[in-house]
Structure 1
């Protein structure tokens, strides 16, 4: 299995390895920082990326604006994912009134485009007693019908790193209720060895989305750089409680013991695992430099054999804190 295009949503075919642009919003500001970010994005296109994942909340629009500058150079090259649900401006809530419409207008302006391929509801908070939920669902459907967006997206079950089983079950239950109201075309979720795979109605998220005919975007497969030795992994560890941080370090050491310390080894295993075990998904990877982007696309190597896939699944499954099964 290579990087041939696959279907993410109706009418949307894209290569299965894309770019997650959250770090663009946090990058060093100024001409030098922008130049490095744009060089990394250009490298992604040269390596074959066709999907870029951003959000209005990444750097309060800075990430979108940098992607927009790239689109002026390559207007036909990319499919776009953006998100809404965290910025509220002067409104009482990020989903209140015409907030989604206003944020989409700003997103389109930032991106220098008239259309976003996937527009993701990035929060499951729809106000007291879900007062905005049905209204937002209708608004998203209308935006799709008017072709301002190609597909309605929804964030998957969300619980913080280090959350316990009860908190994760509550997040999964909440997601199922929102999913039923929104009826999305695509689910966006984090997926890596630090996170148990969400269980929904007796099956994992991959099986749930396939059964419902919904596409899947898998983000942060390298655990924010933890599996590739990047600084984002260090920041992730520093944000965890001591017990969770110690457990994460133990998991990482166990992976190195099992799969080796060769540069790019865990990167290859993690990315290939996502690409091969979720054929209806696109995996988006964070980056800071053009060199990192090049390594992610060129260090993939050949597809994993069944033995390698089983070993990675079993190992990651046993390393997760609550024993949730790995991707199947």
Structure 2
């Protein structure tokens, strides 16, 4: 990334990174597959990203049951000189513990992640679930453990997952999720919020602000994932990427609407390779200086497409065009979801 506007960003205290990093998740691959070939292609993608200037690698202990972390560790053993910043998550795997956040489970899982990653410290460690047991039984323990890990410098920053429900969820469901997030945010006091964000994410209100204004007001960084919706916003994937299996009936009518929306963007911005990728990545990165985007990939070619497609910043007018087109896609998704729910109730 040689463009001057893509210089390093201060995600939070202790984390200064290039704004385009990698979301490392090998479990998104399609089965059946050749495991060795998948690993080699993944390693190639990591190497290509570093050549492009990437410094921030985001993963989780739950991705492919820790195998993604181990593959990243293989890469780091081969390149110990690289000044990379590693981000992982905890809260999905329970193991033999009563709960993913119970007792010393967080500490034990961090030790396992560090071993997997061949690292001595994580730059960012994120609480990846809002489930803290009945009546939030393990919330206090989780907060205490995370703060201790930061104090002893096993991690540099505490992360909290942002509001996250189905893209086709009702406004009431999103509002409830935002309320839960705000409650946890005030208690955890994270340094960074990790969240999925793209054209289909509604602008939910959090204490009177959207997530970008809210985190900026509190001096908290943002890691944005799923910005390309697994290729849907670049015209390379089916609308299944944004829908749960129970919403599969929405797919046929939405495919045409998605295609028409993307074609409108092509008509305005041109149909050159990477044009739609640039719109999705730029419109996210330009939301705020505290934002870092992590892109999904499975091979070197996909990494190159993301970095090569960055291009120049979008002008305010261009951002308006993209925002309008994405709003139409979002409206179409929710209208289709509403019709589907009505039909289910009447059946």
Q: TM bucket by the smaller chain? A: over 0.9
Q: 1 CA distance for matches of 2:55 and 2:63?
A: 20
Q: 1:181 Cα deviation (Å)?
A: 1.0
The match for 2:294 is 284
Q: 1:161 Cα deviation (Å)?
A: 2.7
Q: 1:139 Cα deviation (Å)?
A: 0.8
Q: 2 CA distance for matches of 1:252 and 1:154?
A: 31
Q: Cα 1:166–1:182, aligned 2, differ >3 Å: closer, same or farther?
A: same
The match for 1:5 is 8
The aligned length equals 324
The match for 1:305 is 315
Q: 1:285 Cα deviation (Å)?
A: 0.5
The match for 1:125 is 131
CA contact (8 A) 2:57 2:84 kept: yes
The match for 2:118 is 112
Higher-helix-fraction structure: 2
Q: 2 CA distance for matches of 1:306 and 1:235?
A: 29
Greater alpha carbon shift after TM alignment, 192-201 vs 10-19: 192-201
Q: After superposition, what is the alpha-carbon deviation per residue over 1:42-71, rounded to whole angstroms, capped at 9, x for unaligned?
A: 011111111011000000001101111111
Q: Cα 1:92–1:205, aligned 2, differ >3 Å: closer, same or farther?
A: same
User: What is the correspondence of 1:71-220 to structure 2 with a 5 Å cutoff?
Assistant: 71-75=76-80, 76-220=82-226
Q: After superposition, what is the alpha-carbon deviation per residue over 1:10-36, rounded to whole angstroms, capped at 9, x for unaligned?
A: 021000000001235647453222111
Q: Cα 1:262–1:244, aligned 2, differ >3 Å: closer, same or farther?
A: farther
Q: Cα 1:277–1:305, aligned 2, differ >3 Å: closer, same or farther?
A: same
Q: Cα 1:229–1:147, aligned 2, differ >3 Å: closer, same or farther?
A: same
Instruction: State the superposition RMSD in angstroms.
Output: 2.1
The match for 2:24 is 21
Which has more radius of gyration?
2
Q: After superposition, what is the alpha-carbon deviation per residue over 1:108-153, rounded to whole angstroms, capped at 9, x for unaligned?
A: 0000001000000000000000011111111101100000000000
In the alignment, structure 1 segments of 5+ residues that lack a partner are: none
In the alignment, structure 2 segments of 5+ residues that lack a partner are: 335-347
Q: 1 CA distance for matches of 2:170 and 2:253?
A: 13
Q: Cα 1:235–1:305, aligned 2, differ >3 Å: closer, same or farther?
A: closer
